[in-house]
Amino acid sequence: MSDYVTQETFDKMREELHRMKSIDRPASSRAIAEAREKGDLKENAEYDAAKEAQGMLEAKIKQLEGVISNAKIVDPGTIDTSKVTILTKVTITNMATKKTVEYQIVGEKEADLKLGKISASSPIGKGLLGKVVGEVAEVQAPNGIIKFKIENITI
């Protein structure tokens, strides 16, 4: 499945992948070599830990390579703000509590609730996609249906 990202996030992912391959991977190999020099591998906890860390690093590299290869870069200049879409900022009001919040709809890789960025694949994100100003979105949450009124859509 492809993940929609901004050019900035795509560049950060590529930098992270480069760092893992050029800095973290050689460091991991050195740690294994140093642990190997300390004697019997059957009873060498340091060696086992270094091998496990290397395995986790390789899994992260593989996962990030997959994300990068499937990423779709979205240009903010081409976004239609007549309805809620990926990368739009939407101001919503919870109909029950009357609380108003603003979220930016982003791909999974960029989601960060503290920054007001929610994934398009989250329950709220899915419920808001395609809605227009004035429309009420019904979102299925664990504790029932929550209704949000779309107040504003911007970039």
| Rounded-to-5 percentages of helix, strand, coil across the chain | 50, 25, 25
Per-residue confidence in pLDDT tens, the chain, 155 aa: 467 788 888 999 999 999 999 999 999 999 888 888 877 767 778 888 888 999 999 999 999 999 899 888 888 777 888 999 988 999 999 999 999 999 999 888 788 899 999 998 899 999 999 999 999 999 988 888 999 999 999 98
SS3 140: strand
CATH class of the domain at 3-73 = mainly alpha
For CA atoms 113, 134, 131, 96, the dihedral sign is positive
pLDDT computed for residue 2 by the predictor: 60
> DSSP state, 116?
T
**Half-sphere exposure (Cβ direction) of 88: Cα atoms closer than 13 Å:** 24
Which spans in the chain are helix H? 7-19, 25-36, 45-70, 123-128
Q: Which two tokens stand for residue 72?
A: 């779709």
Q: Which two tokens stand for residue 39?
A: 């004697």
Domains 3-73 and 76-154 share a fold: no
pLDDT computed for residue 54 by the predictor: 94
Per-domain boundaries in the chain: 3-73, 76-154
Answer yes or no: CATH 3.30.70.20 is held by domain 76-154: no
Residue type at position 83:
K
pTM across the whole model: 0.68
pLDDT computed for residue 41 by the predictor: 67
Asked if residue 52 lies in contact with residue 112, where contact means CB atoms within 8 angstroms, the answer is no
